[in-house]
A and B are shown apart, each in its own frame.
Chain A
Amino acid sequence: MKTSLLRIQAIVTKELLQLSRDRMTFAMVIMIPFVQLLLFAFAINTNVRNIPVGVVDHSQTSLSRILQQTVSATGIITFTHSYHSVKAAQKAIDSNEVRAVLIIPQDVSQRLVRHPSVGFGLPPSSKQETSRPIAQWLVDGSDTVIAGSIKSLRNMPLAELLDKPANRNTPTFEVTLLYNPEQRSVVNIVPGLVAVILTMTMIMFTSAAIVREQERGNMEMLITTPLAPIELMIGKIFPYIFIGAIQVTIILGLGYWLFNVPFNGGLTQLAIATLLFICASLVLGLVISTIAKNQLQSMQMTIFILLPSILLSGFMFPYEGMPLPAQYIAEALPATHFIRLIRGVVLRDVDVIEMNFDMFWLIGFTCFGLLVAALRFKKTLD
């Protein structure tokens, strides 16, 4: 037992020495979370603003111009172009000059007064039958987020166009938004980003770690020594636990200071959740390293894991919206469980033990992975 610990310690010391001399890797440990946090937190935004749109104004009245200003005032769109015909507007959408076009018909003022939402009371039955939308949007519907944003304009209040007080309809449901009342995407993104960045760096570092020893010829020497596979595995992943902890600190720290992401949970809970996920990711990296023959292959396999970890884990799209087979795949990924845990801890102040399914899943994954990696690691060159 004592010699076993000594051997593990030898591997850990060696890894730390090598890491401290590999400045590029060391820089990446810090730069990856730093740059990616800034990049993603600013870039990923589901509240779309300032969509470039055009207008075809057949009416050319002051009312049509006020209508344009009112729509523009929502901030969702910006009128960048004006077209004389619907055909020209459609061409502009084809060529991606604008994402949508507002077509204002000649009789916009008549349509407006007959419109029920304007609030002149119920129009006479004859007019009610003839009431039509006051204008039409032509939208490039290929991007569902953009299409959704423009669709949200469908029922925008128009009363202020005619200096009337806005309709105060009683909503069917009252909605109270917990944890992120301002609906800022960054609140949801930053904790999820911890999972994505840790998946990337932890799997990449460990999967390359053993393959590198094989490529450089060190493994032939190591396997003639009394070093046991499990000792090598533990020694290899141990230093990266600290590196993972540094990365989590950078991401959550910057998220807190720069983006005001609330930090509601306890540090101990965060440490437990993170440690479990780091171990699961490192072990996954080890399993890859026993399959890959060179560093390029290990890199490819890391990306193979990374992509579903970004797209299926709930980081970008809600898990509940995915079809069942995709949910099964998501369940197999450590990132999915960790995203649930860290969002729970950071945003909702939940104890890890309350989310015991995800916690035990990560523990089980780590133990099983370590066993697979140790069994797959051969102490021969066969």
Chain B
Amino acid sequence: MILSTRAAANNTTYSPELAINAKSLCRNFGQLAAISNLDLTVEKQTIYGFLGPNGSGKTTAIRLLTGLLKPTSGQINVLGCHLPQEANKLRLQIGYMTQKFSLYDDLTVKENLQFISKIYGLTANEQKSRLSELLSTHQLTQQSQQLAGSMSGGQKQRLALAAAVIHKPKLLFLDEPTSAVDPQNRREFWEQLFDLCDQGTTILVSTHYMDEAERCHKLAILENGVKRADDTPQALMNNMSAQVVEIAANDLRYIKDKLIQLPQVISAAQLGTHLRVLVNKAERNPVGLLQRQSCIKPTDQLAIVRPSLEDVFVSCTGQGGAR
């Protein structure tokens, strides 16, 4: 499996195991390079995540992969279609849920879904059964006659997902789908994504939430249009270029200000009563290094802990990535 993925990464010819295969993808907006040299392989029936801060190129990458934008250079193959040439052929096979709610506020839930189903050419019978199925799956049966504009963020998001999967796409793009919903709705939303994935859909989701990224089968960390890392969340945490030391002490703000000046320290962030310090992996004894600092008292407790995805994110983006 790994071998075939690698082989596919070297050229963008269609590989049956891959839903997306992009190579050396670049997209410039004037002087700004929104995406630089992005290589991407997404296996079928997986949930692949784009993790990155705002402006990191997540939306641009998704728009390139859906054929909405043309690349400045590079090759893209999505579900066997070469983009941007075969964008029209691809459209029946993909679903796209935009970052901003893009259905009609002045139509009801049912009218919105009927509209989309007709656009995808569903017959009257197919439409009827698919709509009732989607309304019940996405818990929208009660709201079916409600105007979309008057619904809550969570309900709108469920409607947008229902519309995006109405034609049973093989590949689903979700651009920051849960940015406007509460944790409970987010949890239920992800359960539905795994159901879809289980039924054979490949999903590419962009997010800036760590907990959401951790749910993905595989993950790419983007910053300023560059892919900083990509792997499974577990592998990313295991192979992180830093070690995490947690400090329990009294004067954490003062300690943080001092430690951050050390060249070996990538970042330091307070989490409640603890300070989480990322130390370069080259440092053999990170606890010893920190204990030697004058700001640390002998009574303070220091321990190496398991890295989180946020640590991975910090270590390979921003200041951490630069060091």
> Per-residue 0/1 for B69-80: is the Cβ within 8 Å of any A Cβ (1 yes, 0 no)?
110000000000
- A9, closest chain B residue (CB): B118
Contact B106 A380 (CB under 8 A): no
| Complex CA distance for A216 and B104, rounded to whole angstroms | 9
Do B104 and A14 touch across chains, with their CB atoms under 8 A apart?
A: yes
**Chain A 204-220 interface mask (CB, 8 Å, partner B; 1/0):** 00000000000011101
- Evaluate contact between B68 and A380: CB separation under 8 angstroms: yes
Determine which of A6, A17, A217 lies in contact with B100 in the assembled complex, contact meaning CB atoms within 8 Å: A217
Within 8 A of B (CB), among A170-227: 216-218, 220-227
| Mask: chain B, 54-81; 1 = CB below 8 Å from A; 0 = not | 0000000001001111100000000000
0 or 1 for each of A326-362: is its CB under 8 Å from B? (1 = yes): 0000000000000000000000000000000000000
Chain A residues within 8 Å of B104, by CB: 14, 18, 218
Contact B107 A17 (CB under 8 A): yes
Complex CA distance for A221 and B105, rounded to whole angstroms: 14
C-alpha spacing A350/B301, complex, angstroms: 100
Q: How far apart are A262's CB and chain B's nearest CB, in angstroms?
A: 43
- Closest beta carbon of chain B to A165's beta carbon, Å: 75
Tell me whether B70 and A10 are in contact (CB under 8 A). Answer: no
- Which partner residue on chain A sits nearest B95 by CB separation? A224
**Across-interface contacts of B69 in A (CB, < 8 A):** 380-382
Stretch of B84-92, B138-146, B233-241, B250-258 lying at the A interface = B84-92
The answer for the CA separation of A10 and B112 in the assembled complex, in Å, is 10
Residues of A with C-beta under 8 A to B190: none
Q: Which residues of A contact B94 (CB under 8 A)?
A: 224
Given contacts A14-B104, A18-B106, contact A7 B68 (CB under 8 A): no
Known: A220-B98, A381-B69, A382-B69. A6 touches B121 (CB 8 A): yes
Is A297's CB within 8 Å of the partner chain B? no
| Main SS class of interface, B | loop
Q: Once bound together, how far apart are the Cα atoms of A21 and B149, in whole Å?
A: 13
Residue of A nearest to B89 (CB): A226
Tell whether B47 is near chain A: CB-to-CB under 8 Å: no
The 0/1 profile, CB within 8 Å of A marked 1, for residues 139-171 of chain B is: 000000000000000000000000100000000
Residue count of chain A within 8 Å CB distance of chain B: 26
Residues of B within 8 Å of A18, CB to CB, are 104, 106-107
Partner of A10 from B66, B91, B115 at Cβ < 8 Å = B115
A226 touches B115 (CB 8 A): no
The distance from the CB of A250 to the nearest CB of chain B, in whole angstroms, is 26
Q: Are A224 and B96 in contact (CB under 8 A)?
A: yes
Query: Is the Cβ of A217 less than 8 Å from the Cβ of B102?
Result: yes
User: In the complex, what distance in Å separates the CA atom of A379 from the CA atom of B91?
Assistant: 11
In-complex Cβ contact of B68 among A9, A13, A223 (8 A)? A223
Q: A217-B98, A221-B96, A380-B68 are in contact. Are A7 and B107 (CB under 8 A)?
A: no
Whether the Cβ atoms of A220 and B119 lie closer than 8 Å is: no
Let me know if B101 is at the binding interface, CB within 8 A.
yes
A7 touches B119 (CB 8 A): yes
Complex contact A17–B111 (CB within 8 A): yes
Interface residues of B, count at CB 8 A:
31
Q: How far is the CA of A18 from the CA of B104 in the complex (A)?
A: 9
Q: Is the CB of A224 within 8 A of B91?
A: yes
B70–A226 CB distance below 8 A? no
Residues 196-215 of chain B, each 1 if its beta carbon lies under 8 Å from chain A, else 0? 00000000000000000000
Partner of B66, one of A6, A218, A224, A227: A224
Decide yes or no whether A142 CB sits under 8 A from chain B.
no
Do B118 and A6 touch across chains, with their CB atoms under 8 A apart? yes
CB pair B102–A221 under 8 Å, yes or no, is: yes
Query: Is there an interface contact between B106 and A224, defined as CB atoms closer than 8 Å?
Result: no
A3 within 8 A of B: yes
- What distance in Å separates the Cβ of A260 from its nearest Cβ neighbour in chain B? 42
* List of A residues within 8 angstroms of B120 by Cβ: 225-226
Is there an interface contact between A226 and B107, defined as CB atoms closer than 8 Å?
A: no
Tell whether B103 is near chain A: CB-to-CB under 8 Å: yes
A320 interface residue, CB < 8 Å from B?
no
How many angstroms from the CA of A218 to the CA of B96 in the assembled complex?
12
Minimum Cβ distance to chain A for residue B128 (Å): 15
CB distance from B127 to the nearest CB of A (A): 10
What is the distance, in angstroms, from B165's C-beta to the closest C-beta of chain A?
Answer: 13
Chain A residues, CB < 8 A from B163: 221
**CB nearest neighbor in A for B164:** A221
Contact A21 to B106, CB < 8 A, known contacts A10-B119, A226-B92: yes
Which residues of A sit under 8 angstroms from B88, Cβ to Cβ? 226, 379
Q: Does B116 sit at the interface, judged by CB under 8 A? A: yes
Contact A381 B63, beta carbon cutoff 8 Å: yes
* Per-residue A-contact encoding for B26-66, CB less than 8 Å = 1, 0 else: 00000000000000000000000000000000000001001
Chain A residues within an 8 Å CB radius of B107: 14, 17-18
Instruction: Contacts A225-B91, A226-B91, A381-B63 given; indicate if A7 touches B111 (C-beta within 8 A).
Output: no
Asked if B68 contacts A227 (CB within 8 A), the reply is no
CB distance from A231 to the nearest CB of B (A): 9
B84 adjacent to A380 (CB under 8 Å) = yes
Interface presence of A143 (CB below 8 A): no
**Min CB gap A375→B, angstroms:** 15
Q: Considering the chains assembled together, what is the distance between the CA atoms of A216 and B100 in angstroms?
A: 9
Decide: A14 and B101 in contact? CB cutoff 8 A: no
The minimal Cβ–Cβ distance linking B148 to chain A, given in whole angstroms, is 11
CB of A102 to closest CB in B, whole Å:
64
- A1-30 residues at the B interface, CB under 8 angstroms: 3, 6-7, 9-10, 13-14, 17-18, 21-22
Those 3 A-B pairs whose CB atoms lie nearest each other, nearest first: A10-B118, A221-B102, A3-B121
User: Can you list 25 residue pairs at the A/B interface with Cβ under 8 Å?
Assistant: A3-B121, A7-B121, A10-B118, A10-B119, A14-B104, A14-B111, A17-B111, A18-B106, A22-B106, A217-B98, A217-B102, A218-B102, A220-B68, A220-B96, A220-B100, A221-B163, A224-B94, A224-B96, A226-B88, A226-B91, A226-B119, A226-B121, A227-B119, A379-B88, A380-B87
> Which A residues fall within an 8 A CB radius of B?
3, 6-7, 9-10, 13-14, 17-18, 21-22, 216-218, 220-227, 379-382
